[in-house]
Amino acid sequence: MNKVYLDITIGEEKIGRIICQLFTDEAPKSCENFLHLCKGDISVGDKVLTLKGNHFHRVIKNFMIQAGDLIYGSTEPINREEIGKGGCSIYTTEEELKNSDQQQIQCFGNFGDENLGEFNESFILAMANTGSKDSNSSQFFITTYPSPHLNGKHSKFGKILHGKSVVRTIERSKVDENGVPILPVVISGCGEWNDKMPVPVYNCCNDTIGNDFYEENPEDDSHFDGEDFAKAFEASNTIKESGTLLFKKRDFQNALFKYKKALNYVNEFIPEPDVNKEYHDKFLSQKRKLYLNISLMLFYLKQYEESIKYTSYLLETDGTTTKEKAKSYLRRGNCFYALNRLETALDDYKKSKELNPEDTILDEKIDITSGKIEAEKERTKKNISKFFQ
């Protein structure tokens, strides 16, 4: 089976790579078309047929994301009124393009339906059409939710192998009333892919260090039954420990991605206490640890305001221990200190000291911060006195 890749940017931000596995036996014409559109190695007249530079023009949450309009969807800027009304397959001819009657719908090289199966899961790759039989050209879509109303109506020609988190990022894009993304979602690169090639992502970490083979989004993972709380907890812990291994390498950004991923698993699978008290408490304890870890990574990355949010979350969380509260106040105080909000930092250091009186480092922090506050007060007094001289 052939595999292809789509590199995605949203606005000016690189998001990552989607890897598609093509069903060459079940849908040969669709696969050949998509493969060559990704490779960009076929021209008709002076028109190069390629998905590179093409926009995702229709995004519907809990349904699908759609691209491939080679007529109206590969220009800058796009025309929001026309995009989605065109297409051009590798099976078109120069004569067909020349004899275009300039109707609104401009789909060339239409070819027959294949593999009209069931759409019973997310991440199916399929051909879009005009609503009539055998009207496939270049537009395609990726399902993001089971869609049985599409059964028997569209050619299924592949599935998403890697980069499901990239698909989910596209799905979460803000759109206008027609489903067109507000920020351009563009295929910045594409081509044939093999297993020796990378799968870069930029808004999460797909490093499998520590045996983290779990999907970025817990709802997309199939390694365990979501009702198996022991397996779900094991997954969250594996992901957390993967983050800790990256932290030990001082890879703070990817450690942060892992800790946030683990937190998503905790939030997704934590049972209500009346369903399973043991695992409710275990997940809650895990959540508190993750808040601390996330706040620390954000501090190292100098994202102080975000770090303050997570330490505050922990202080508001049920069951937070005295030790955890002391750490939270200390880390939040460090952030306030870095932001030169010295009075607030001093207040947090004192609260931490009350909870952890044996910590001599806090004495030092309190003394240094108090000294800076007094020095600033003296400077202010001198400046005021100069003003009235």
- Supply the DSSP string of 307-356, one letter for each residue: HHHHHHHHHTSTT--HHHHHHHHHHHHHHHHHTT-HHHHHHHHHHHHHH-
Q: What's phi and psi for 127, nearest 5 deg?
A: -85, 135
Kindly report the backbone phi and psi dihedral angles of residue 299, in degrees, each rounded to the nearest multiple of 5, phi listed first: -65, -45
- DSSP lists the bridge partners of residue 127 as 140
Task: Supply the pLDDT for residue 378.
Answer: 82
pLDDT of residue 101: 64
Orientation angle between helical segments 322-338 and 277-300, nearest 10 degrees: 20
Q: Compute the distance between CA of residue 14 and CA of residue 189 in angstroms, rounded to an integer.
A: 11
Question: One digit per residue, pLDDT tens: the chain, 389 residues?
Answer: 799 999 999 999 999 999 999 999 999 999 999 999 999 999 998 889 999 999 999 999 999 999 999 999 998 888 888 999 999 999 999 888 887 766 667 899 999 999 999 999 999 999 999 999 999 999 999 999 999 999 999 999 999 999 999 999 999 999 999 999 999 999 999 999 999 999 999 999 999 999 999 999 999 999 999 899 999 999 999 999 999 999 999 999 999 999 999 999 999 999 999 999 999 999 999 999 999 999 999 999 999 999 999 999 999 998 999 999 999 999 999 999 999 999 999 999 999 999 999 999 999 999 999 999 999 888 877 776 666 55
Could you state, in order of their start, the residue ranges of all structural domains in the chain?
3-192, 218-384
CA 268 and chain centroid, separation: 16
The answer to whether 153 touches 116, Cβ cutoff 8 Å, is yes
The closest of 211, 272, 203, 199 to 240, measured between CA atoms, is 211
Task: Give dist(CA 303, CA 335) in Å, integer.
Answer: 9
The reported pLDDT for the residue numbered 15 is 98
Q: What is the CATH number of domain 218-384?
A: 1.25.40.10
The fold of the 3-192 domain, in CATH, is: Cyclophilin (2.40.100)
The DSSP letter of residue 104 is S
The CA distances from residue 277 to 135, 224, 272, 284, in Å, are 55, 20, 7, 10
Q: What does the alpha-carbon distance between residue 328 and residue 289 come to, in Å, rounded to a whole number?
A: 11
CA 180 to chain centre: 19
Sign for the CA dihedral angle at 354, 357, 359, 361 comes to positive
pLDDT at residue 98 in the model: 81
CA atoms within 13 A on the CB side of 222: 3
Q: How is residue 330 written in tokens? A: 């200390």
CB 2 within 8 A of CB 24: yes
Burial environment of residue 72 by CB neighbours within 10 A (0 to 12, 13 to 18, 19 or more): buried
Q: Which residues neighbour 158 within 8 Å (Cβ) at sequence distance 6 or greater?
A: 20, 21, 22, 23, 27, 31, 34, 124, 125
Query: How many CA atoms does the CB half-sphere of 97 hold within 13 Å?
Result: 18
- Cα separation, 3 vs 23, whole angstroms: 9
- For the chain, give me the number of helices (H) and strands (E)? 10, 12
- Report how far residue 258's alpha carbon sits from residue 306's, in angstroms, rounded to the nearest whole number: 16
